[in-house]
Chain A
Amino acid sequence: MGETNKQVPVTVLTGFLGAGKTTLLNRILTEQHGKKYAVIVNEFGEQGIDNDLVVDADEEVFEMNNGCICCTVRGDLIRILSGLMKRADKLDAIIVETTGLADPAPVAQTFFVDQDVADRTKLDAIVTVADAVHLSTQLSDHHEAEEQVAFADVVLLNKIDLVDESRLDAVKERIKKINPFAKIIHTTKCGVSLSEILNLDAFNLKRILDTEPDFLTSDHDHEHDDDVTSLSFVSDTPLDMEKFQDWFSKLLQTKGQDILRTKGILDFTGENDRYVFQGVHMLMDASPMGKWPEGKERNSRLVFIGRNLESMNLKEGFENCKSA
């Protein structure tokens, strides 16, 4: 994806209506951070202080003209990010606010699909602001709320002063069930240090190795079919690369719409390198990431977040990839 040092990090800020996204935006815009940020907003109407640049945008989701329904991108972002990259002064970061009902996938896919965007900017992290009081109901009632949690690298669990401990635990468990990777930060009035939500480099394949997310094999109770859940698999037996590629590419092609996010670290027979990948729907970024550390166990770990995962025979498919 081009030269990393020249890419401006882009943080995507999602959150269901009333969760506190505007409060967080206001904090970013009013804090004396000494950095130059551009904030792309939807009908926000505020002006930045401390040098920040506020850009109005209308969320425009475009289908790429290649017949693949999963290939939706945010046209307005392509236009605005390309424009921002012509500036003489360099930005420290760009923050993209999405509307409360937005699906984060087209935003993320924009960074995979558009070469200009990928050359000059990089998706840093998806930060989802969630309301501790209402999240459970919202997750049950709205697909969009589930998707926002499913795509999150960080969930800012806001308004925790308004719930008791048992309810807080229940909400956290619900989040973890949907998305075991997300880092959950507790806040009231979105009081969080900006360093915890900006410049996280969460989409860097290296970070998947660094953070060693919760790859525990999961065995969930059967939920409603269209609930977003996650499933993970671990194998100590090395995988056959050809079998894996065959299974995985077919899986993404046919079920990519239901698979929201995937991440994995893979151990292939005959390969000295660790293979790391991550995907958003059908799109994937994958690369060998150096040798396995000495003295550490080699194994393959794979996580899926999505809908109807139970129906995809993932366990069987993964088992079949093991080298004989």
Chain B
Amino acid sequence: MKADSNKFPELNKTKFENRGKEFKLGIPVTNAITIGNSIAVGFGDGTVRIFRSGQISEPIKAHSGVVLSISKDGEDILTGGDDGRFLKISLDGEIKEIANFGSRWVDHVTAYNGSLVCTSGNIVYLWMPNKKEPKLLEHESTIGGVAFDSKGRRLAVSRYGGVTLWKKDYSNKWSSSNLIWKGSHNKVIFSTDDRFLVTSMQENQLHFWRLKDKTDSFMSGYGAKVKSFAFVYDSKFLVTSGSNEAICWPFDGNGPEGRKPICLPYVGNKLVTFVEPFPNENAIFTGLSDGSVFLSEIEKSTNTIIIRSFTESEVTTIAVTEDCSSILIGDIGGNILWTSIWDEEEK
């Protein structure tokens, strides 16, 4: 026995790790976005790197601090940083500054069909296609998250006290209505069928509104804040982090009220820190606080396989290429795994 007994014993690597490529960059991974079969990754030193076919690009020096948010506009990457800049970056690494707010951070970015959105403080800045000057949508408190619906007609803005729902009419005029629930709302998403709106809260819970009749309720019971959540492709389930299991709420029919979630347990009993739906399946990739990543079928919890063994650093991002051939996993310790999802014979 060696003296250094605090270290975990080396475990065998998974087949995904064996056939994949590992990058030990040592820089915290903050987020990622899939663009076709490329995946752009944002880092805690302000750089963006593009991964494609297991190859890594040179670092693109986008921000001076942290890449706080990442999204895409067509083939271009959008990023917001704690240097106050909102950037558009091409896959070749060409940077275009869209706005600069100085010492005010750009917390959230998103886009829909050429309409670009970023938030800084309590203001949403909205650039309509081919317009130089943004439209300013002001809110009473700092914005926790923004999301377009699937048609780009509604923009949900979460904040303290609820969500402001902006609607665009056919003459491109925006008007707003409020969805109210006491407390501070962070990330916001629409269900993929646009029937529901879900927010994560400062408290360890989620809130949801059914948009047709504006009824609302909450989903609680989490041991930690729910930072990562997403709908599976057909909105049958909302998959969520924030517990030692991946909690999957049923969102078919009238939603989860009065119904129980499916809870997917994992070995090691660690906190789930990131969830990413498997495209076009009722299945999810689950990243844990020890760096391990699993793939599970939601309705057959016995069908769980390990993708990555632990790195001791919490998983901060998981992204899948558009053709669903490869997956990228990143963690707070700057370890990245790029691997193919299918065995050669499965392809």
- Least CB separation from A53: chain B residue: B65
Contacts of B107 in A (CB 8 A): 79, 83
User: How many Å from the CB of B112 to the closest CB on chain A?
Assistant: 25
CB of A76 within 8 A of CB of B45, answer no
The B159-202 residues at the A interface (CB cut-off 8 A) are 160, 182-184, 201-202
Residue of A65, A83, A88 near B27 (CB, 8 A) is A88
- Least CB separation from B104: chain A residue: A56
User: How many Å from the CB of B128 to the closest CB on chain A?
Assistant: 27
Interface extent on B, as a size class?
20 to 34
Contacts of A58 in B (CB 8 A): 121-122, 142
Tell me the complex Cα distance, A78–B141, Å: 14
Residue of B44, B141, B183 near A64 (CB, 8 A) is B183
Tell me the complex Cα distance, A226–B84, Å: 43
User: How many Å from the CB of B83 to the closest CB on chain A?
Assistant: 9
Contacts of B184 in A (CB 8 A): 62, 65, 75
User: How many Å from the CB of A200 to the closest CB on chain B?
Assistant: 27
Contacts of A87 in B (CB 8 A): 28, 44-45, 65-66, 82
Q: Indicate whether B156 reaches chain A with its CB closer than 8 angstroms.
A: no
Q: Indicate whether B103 reaches chain A with its CB closer than 8 angstroms.
A: yes
Contacts of A80 in B (CB 8 A): 105
Tell me the complex Cα distance, A62–B68, Å: 22
Q: A65-B182, A86-B44, A87-B44 are in contact. Are A60 and B141 (CB under 8 A)?
A: yes
Q: Indicate whether B286 reaches chain A with its CB closer than 8 angstroms.
A: no
The B290-313 residues at the A interface (CB cut-off 8 A) are none
Binding site for A on B (CB under 8 A): 27-28, 30, 43-45, 65-66, 68, 82, 102-105, 107, 121-122, 141-142, 160, 182-184, 201-203, 224-225, 332
Contacts of B141 in A (CB 8 A): 60, 75
User: How many Å from the CB of B332 to the closest CB on chain A?
Assistant: 8
Tell me the complex Cα distance, A302–B30, Å: 45
Residue of A65, A86, A115 near B30 (CB, 8 A) is A86
Q: Which of A54, A75, A86 has the most CB of B within 10 A?
A: A86
Contacts of B202 in A (CB 8 A): 62, 64-65, 73, 75, 78, 114
User: How many Å from the CB of B184 to the closest CB on chain A?
Assistant: 5
CB of A88 within 8 A of CB of B183, answer no
Q: Indicate whether A164 reaches chain B with its CB closer than 8 angstroms.
A: no
Contacts of B44 in A (CB 8 A): 86-88
User: How many Å from the CB of A139 to the closest CB on chain B?
Assistant: 31
Contacts of A55 in B (CB 8 A): 82, 103, 105
Contacts of B65 in A (CB 8 A): 53, 87
Tell me the complex Cα distance, A84–B279, Å: 32
User: How many Å from the CB of B43 to the closest CB on chain A?
Assistant: 7
- Least CB separation from B45: chain A residue: A88
A195-213 interface bits toward B, Cβ cutoff 8 Å, 1 = contact, 0 = none: 0000000000000000000
CB of B160 within 8 A of CB of A60, answer yes
Q: Which of A73, A84, A88, A116 has the most CB of B within 10 A?
A: A88
Given A54-B103, A87-B28, A87-B82, 10 additional A-B pairs, CB 8 A? A55-B82, A58-B121, A62-B160, A62-B183, A62-B202, A63-B182, A76-B142, A83-B82, A88-B28, A115-B225
CB of A83 within 8 A of CB of B160, answer no
Tell me the complex Cα distance, A144–B200, Å: 33
CB of B102 within 8 A of CB of A86, answer no
Residue of B43, B66, B104, B225 near A83 (CB, 8 A) is B66
Tell me the complex Cα distance, A211–B107, Å: 41
> What are 11 inter-chain pairs, A to B, with CB distance below 8 A?
A47-B103, A54-B103, A55-B103, A60-B141, A62-B160, A63-B182, A64-B183, A76-B142, A83-B82, A87-B45, A88-B66
Tell me the complex Cα distance, A78–B225, Å: 12
Tell me the complex Cα distance, A207–B314, Å: 32
Contacts of B203 in A (CB 8 A): 64-66
User: How many Å from the CB of B144 to the closest CB on chain A?
Assistant: 8
CB of A56 within 8 A of CB of B183, answer no
- Least CB separation from B47: chain A residue: A88
Contacts of B102 in A (CB 8 A): 56
CB of B122 within 8 A of CB of A88, answer no
Q: A76-B142, A83-B66 are in contact. Are A89 and B45 (CB under 8 A)?
A: yes
Contacts of B121 in A (CB 8 A): 58
Contacts of A83 in B (CB 8 A): 66, 68, 82, 105, 107
Contacts of B225 in A (CB 8 A): 115-116
Tell me the complex Cα distance, A115–B203, Å: 10
Tell me the complex Cα distance, A78–B183, Å: 14
Tell me the complex Cα distance, A90–B160, Å: 30
Tell me the complex Cα distance, A273–B298, Å: 49
User: How many Å from the CB of A118 to the closest CB on chain B?
Assistant: 12
Contacts of B104 in A (CB 8 A): 56
User: How many Å from the CB of A152 to the closest CB on chain B?
Assistant: 27
- Least CB separation from A89: chain B residue: B45
- Least CB separation from A65: chain B residue: B183
Tell me the complex Cα distance, A116–B200, Å: 15
User: How many Å from the CB of A82 to the closest CB on chain B?
Assistant: 9
CB of B160 within 8 A of CB of A75, answer yes
CB of B224 within 8 A of CB of A115, answer yes
User: How many Å from the CB of A218 to the closest CB on chain B?
Assistant: 38
Q: Which of B27, B43, B122, B184 has the most CB of A within 10 A?
A: B184
Contacts of A60 in B (CB 8 A): 141-142, 160
Tell me the complex Cα distance, A89–B45, Å: 7
CB of B45 within 8 A of CB of A65, answer no
The A37-86 residues at the B interface (CB cut-off 8 A) are 47, 53-56, 58, 60, 62-66, 73, 75-76, 78-80, 83-84, 86
Tell me the complex Cα distance, A73–B202, Å: 10
Closest 4 pairs between A and B when the two form their complex, measured CB to CB? A65-B183, A88-B45, A88-B44, A56-B103
Q: Which of A53, A58, A64, A65 has the most CB of B within 10 A?
A: A65
- Least CB separation from B120: chain A residue: A56
Contacts of A47 in B (CB 8 A): 103
Tell me the complex Cα distance, A75–B183, Å: 10
Contacts of A78 in B (CB 8 A): 202
Tell me the complex Cα distance, A40–B261, Å: 41
User: How many Å from the CB of A47 to the closest CB on chain B?
Assistant: 8
